[in-house]
Amino acid sequence: MATRSGAPNTPPNGPPPSNPQSSPNTVHFDPKLVAPSQTIYFQRNDQITLILLSNTPNMLVRFNYRWLTPDGEIKEGEFDTQPFSVLSSFAIPLYEGWLLSFNARAVSGLINGQWVFLQVVLNRNQAGVAGLPAYSNIWQGYVYNGGNNGWPGTPAKEITDGPGVIRSITGGAPAAGAQILETMPANTRRVLLSLRAVLVTSAAVANRVASFKITDGANILYTIGNNGNQLAATSFTYHMAPGSQFYNDTQGNIVFPFPTLVELKAGFRIQSLVTGMDVADQWGAPQYEVLEWGLWDA
């Protein structure tokens, strides 16, 4: 690994710097007199820090970059992150020069519903998280599997920009006699598109009245309930659809109207409440569809 004054020229796990030309450059300039139009200049103690947020553990991202040294030489580097989960950061020292470009892509095989958000910052000899100083936010956006994202090119995006990731989520199956309780995970923002859950009642004679509510973890934000009873030894399917009208087909299918836009963040909950529920009554695992984004605010 080439060094100058003890500072590394490439990150520890990257390849040696290389010149992409097949022969030496014929154009040279004195950076004191003719600086590149690119304004992202790294001093000797500066570094690139990658701040990554994901909704899936053990993600891997590959980061390729090019920079121009004060000697007029174009160098290349490649950095593979270690497997990371939720919020992580990685530092890449460049020594000195002008950042020309970078590209990032997920190499751990993202599947539907998984995402990685990348923020690239300039800072000095420290990780750029937990409130430590960063001197420039160079770029940020979602990183894809099988595709590329980076700078220059794609404009930087806020973490909640764009259409969101469509996810179909199978919730937790409650124990017999227990209610549905779905709590939104940390670092996540969701918009509920639909929810479906089945309640099978025992043979114990009693009328059950099912309702659902949305809370922020402490305060009830919205409640909707059935206008009829579910009898013993029956199976009813309850559907929650934002913007729909209440519907009961008298054949065990109930549609509850939720607000047209149900926005959920970390700690918000979707809960059932069944009046007259027997200890042997059983909710199935709810299935729901959401649009999802990352969120720095846990």
CA triple 125-128-134, angle to 5 deg:
85
* pTM passes above 0.85: no
What does residue 71 show for φ and ψ, rounded to 5 degrees? -85, 0
CA distance 187 to 295: 5
What Cα–Cα distance (Å) separates residue 171 from each residue in 66, 89, 161, 254, 271?
Answer: 44, 30, 26, 19, 11
Cβ–Cβ contacts within 10 Å for residue 104, how many? 26
Cβ–Cβ contacts within 10 Å for residue 8, how many? 16
pLDDT exceeds cutoff 60 at 283? yes
Confidence band of 176 (pLDDT split at 50, 70, 90): very high
Token digits of residue 25: 């450059």
Tell me which of 284 and 130 has the higher pLDDT.
284
pLDDT exceeds cutoff 50 at 292? yes
Q: What is the mean pLDDT of residues 244-268?
A: 91
DSSP-derived 3-state class of residue 122:
strand
Q: How many CA atoms lie within 13 A of 130 on its CB side?
A: 4
Cis check for the bond before 152: say yes or no (omega within 30 of 0).
yes
Confidence band of 130 (pLDDT split at 50, 70, 90): low
Cβ–Cβ contacts within 10 Å for residue 245, how many? 8
Q: How many CA atoms lie within 13 A of 148 on its CB side?
A: 10
Predicted pLDDT of residue 1: 41
Confidence band of 109 (pLDDT split at 50, 70, 90): confident
Work out whether the CA dihedral 254, 258, 262, 264 comes out positive or negative.
negative
User: Average pLDDT of the chain?
Assistant: 84
- First and final C-alpha spacing in the chain: 40
Tell me which of 41 and 219 has the higher pLDDT.
219
Provide the residue type at 217 as one letter.
Answer: G
Listing DSSP states for 242-272 in one string gives ETPPPEE-SSSEEEEEEPS-EEEETT-EEEE
Provide the residue type at 254 as one letter.
Answer: I
Q: Which of 92, 16, 7 is nearest to 44 (CA)?
A: 7
Lowest-pLDDT choice from 153-157, 201-205, 263-267: 153-157
Confidence band of 6 (pLDDT split at 50, 70, 90): very low
Domains and CATH numbers, the chain: 3-151 (no CATH), 165-294 (2.60.120)
Q: How many CA atoms lie within 13 A of 207 on its CB side?
A: 5
**Residue linked to tokens 């009961």:** 248
Predicted pLDDT of residue 35: 58
Q: How many CA atoms lie within 13 A of 54 on its CB side?
A: 23
CA distance 295 to 298: 7
Cβ–Cβ contacts within 10 Å for residue 68, how many? 17
Q: Which of 199, 179, 195 is nearest to 284 (CA)?
A: 199
Q: Which of 103, 72, 79, 107 is nearest to 93 (CA)?
A: 79
Predicted pLDDT of residue 127: 55
